[in-house]
Structures are given as C-alpha cells and as structure tokens.
Amino acid sequence: MEPKDVELLNTLSESNDEISRLMSEHADFEVQLKRLNKRRAFTPQQEAEMNRIKKLKLQGRDRIEAILAEHRT
C-alpha cells in the first residue's frame, strides 16, 4: 500500500467505524493465519479454517480498498 493510502486510511479510521473494524479484523486474521502456519501438518478442519480466514481477510481488504477509492482525490 502506498504511503498516501496509509495516511488516508489512518485519517479515515479516526472517523469511520467500518474502516476501524476492518483494520482490526484484518490484523486479527493475520495473527490467526500466522499461528496456523506454524504447524507442520494440517487436519482437514485446520485447512478449512485457514481457507475461511483467508477469504474473510481478502473480503475485508477489498472493502478497505473500495472505501479508499471513494476518498482518493
């Protein structure tokens, strides 16, 4: 992400609850994925959980990008 986008994101997060929530969720998903990736082997349930988290993380990032696009000048 470009520095001006990071700055805009930080500014928006102060007044936009959705951005704040999405950023928090994104960070939480990243922590969960790192924890799961420390394993050497995955059960089918763990693989399904990893895929679910990845999808949710991507959806959140897409929404953040959409909000940023609306506010870029």
Give residue 73's pLDDT band: very low, low, confident or very high (50, 70, 90). Answer: low
- Please work out, in degrees rounded to the nearest 5, the angle formed at the alpha carbon of residue 12 by the alpha carbons of 11 and 16: 140
* Cβ atoms of residues 68 and 8 within 8 Å: yes
Give residue 12's pLDDT band: very low, low, confident or very high (50, 70, 90). Answer: confident
- Please work out, in degrees rounded to the nearest 5, the angle formed at the alpha carbon of residue 29 by the alpha carbons of 68 and 2: 30
First to last CA, the chain: 16
For the stretch 30-43, pLDDT in tens is 999 999 999 888 89
If you average pLDDT over residues 24-34, what whole number do you get?
96
* Cβ atoms of residues 22 and 64 within 8 Å: yes
If you average pLDDT over residues 14-41, what whole number do you get?
93
Greater pLDDT, 73 or 43: 43
